[in-house]
């Protein structure tokens, strides 16, 4: 194996975290901001690019960092190494309510495609790159643009799904239509395209957007019930409607409660 062979355990139900067990000289790479806790003796190092072993030399590191800029991520990733004798643990937390999905890349032919912000952490040696769409419709209307993330190698990687996660095993030629923001990731054998919903009423009054993601098997697809963009949109809309105050929400008084609280806006 080119990637480090790590053990792990996932804790929690709605706000999960993954604990990675590192043997001596083993390492794991993670997105900045996902770190939760670690045992004494683990060394932390900020690195360019994705930490894969194939990015050697100065130019390799620059290219690795450039790939991360294209996906909207930071130039840097954080690597954690166990340089001592004996096992050590390091943990990474999910950024919002949902599920952490372990991805064994050997079961996906060495490559897994996911949305840009789904990646959480991976064994040292796993490559985190970009997947360019060759289809204009997918690039313009797919929600993730022309670029998605690809995880390559023969180690373990961990991605995050918002809300409840559904797994679909598509047979040859089987089609699944999904909201573009609800896709977490899929097998490299799955064909991904964008399909127009159609119909004037559906387009203008449907409230579900103008396009579906069309996923055609064979392969495995992971779907999330609560994309972060949808969660953030609801929070912002609620804050705008209430002016940041919610004491009257759900009460019989309603707007009168806000009035008594000193908020004169209706």
Cα gap 215→186, rounded to integer Å: 9
Q: Which of 3-7, 232-236, 238-242, 255-259 has the highest mean pLDDT?
A: 3-7
Beta bridge partners of 151: 112, 128
Residue 265 lies in a domain: no
Look at residue 38 and tell me if it is in a domain. Answer: yes
CA distance 22 to 30: 14
3-state secondary structure of 240: helix
pLDDT at position 28 is 94
Q: How many domains does the chain have?
A: 1
- Model confidence at 186, in pLDDT bands (50, 70, 90)? very high
- Asked whether residue 22 is assigned to any structural domain, the reply reads yes
Contacts of 205 (CB under 8 A, 6+ apart): none
Distance between CA 181 and CA 61 in Å, rounded? 31
- Do residues 183 and 115 make contact, with C-beta atoms less than 8 angstroms apart? yes
Percent of the chain, pLDDT > 70?
64
Q: C-alpha angle 230/234/235, rounded to 5°? A: 115
A 10 A CB-CB count for 65 gives: 19
Q: Which pLDDT belongs to residue 157? A: 94
Q: How far apart are CA 93 and CA 121, in angstroms?
A: 10
Mean pLDDT of 181-205: 75
- 31-40, 79-88, 163-172, 241-250, range with the lowest pLDDT: 241-250
Per-residue pLDDT reduced to its tens digit, 48-74: 666 665 545 555 555 555 555 555 556
Residue 154 inside a domain? The answer is: yes
Residue 240 belongs to a domain: no
Q: Which two tokens stand for residue 56?
A: 């050697």
Residue 152's CATH number: 3.60.160.10
State mean pLDDT over 112-131: 87
CB of 124 closer than 8 Å to CB of 27: yes
Q: What is the mean pLDDT of residues 36-45?
A: 93
Distance CA 47, CA 76 (A): 6
Residue 188 lies in a domain: yes
pLDDT, averaged across the chain: 77
Indicate whether 251 belongs to any domain.
Answer: no
Inside any domain, residue 220? yes
The C-alpha atoms of residue 230 and residue 222 are separated, in whole angstroms, by 17
Residue 131, domain extent: 7-233
> When comparing pLDDT for 92 and 251, which is higher?
92
Q: Is the pLDDT reported for residue 207 higher than 50? A: no
Query: Which of 31, 25, 229, 9 lies closest to 128 in space, CA to CA?
Result: 31
What is the pLDDT averaged over residues 172-176? 94
Kindly report, residue by residue over 137-148, the tens digit of the pLDDT. Answer: 554 554 444 568
């Amino acid at each position: 194996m080119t990637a480090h062979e790590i053990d792990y355990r996932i804790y929690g139900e709605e706000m999960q975290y993954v604990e990675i067990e590192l043997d001596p000289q083993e390492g794991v790479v993670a997105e900045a901001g996902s770190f939760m806790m670690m045992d004494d003796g683990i060394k932390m190092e900020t690195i360019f690019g994705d930490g894969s072993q194939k990015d050697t030399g100065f130019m390799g590191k620059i290219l690795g960092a450039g790939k991360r800029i294209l996906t909207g991520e930071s130039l840097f990733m954080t690597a954690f190494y166990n340089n001592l004798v004996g096992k050590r643990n390091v943990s990474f937390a999910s950024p919002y309510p949902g599920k952490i999905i372990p991805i064994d890349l050997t079961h996906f032919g060495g490559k897994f495609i996911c949305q840009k912000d789904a990646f959480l952490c991976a064994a040292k040696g796993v490559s985190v790159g970009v997947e360019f769409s060759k289809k204009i419709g997918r690039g313009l209307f797919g929600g993730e643009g022309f670029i998605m993330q690809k995880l390559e190698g023969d180690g373990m990687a961990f991605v995050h799904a918002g809300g409840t996660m559904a797994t679909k095993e598509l047979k040859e030629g089987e089609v699944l239509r999904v909201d573009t923001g609800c896709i977490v990731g899929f097998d490299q054998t799955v064909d991904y395209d964008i399909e127009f919903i159609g119909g004037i009423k559906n387009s203008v009054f449907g409230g579900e957007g103008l396009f579906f993601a069309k996923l055609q098997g064979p392969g495995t697809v992971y779907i999330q019930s609560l994309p972060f963009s949808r969660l953030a949109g609801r929070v912002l809309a609620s804050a705008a409607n209430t002016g940041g105050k919610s004491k009257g929400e759900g009460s019989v008084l309603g707007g009168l409660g806000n009035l008594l609280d000193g908020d004169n806006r209706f």
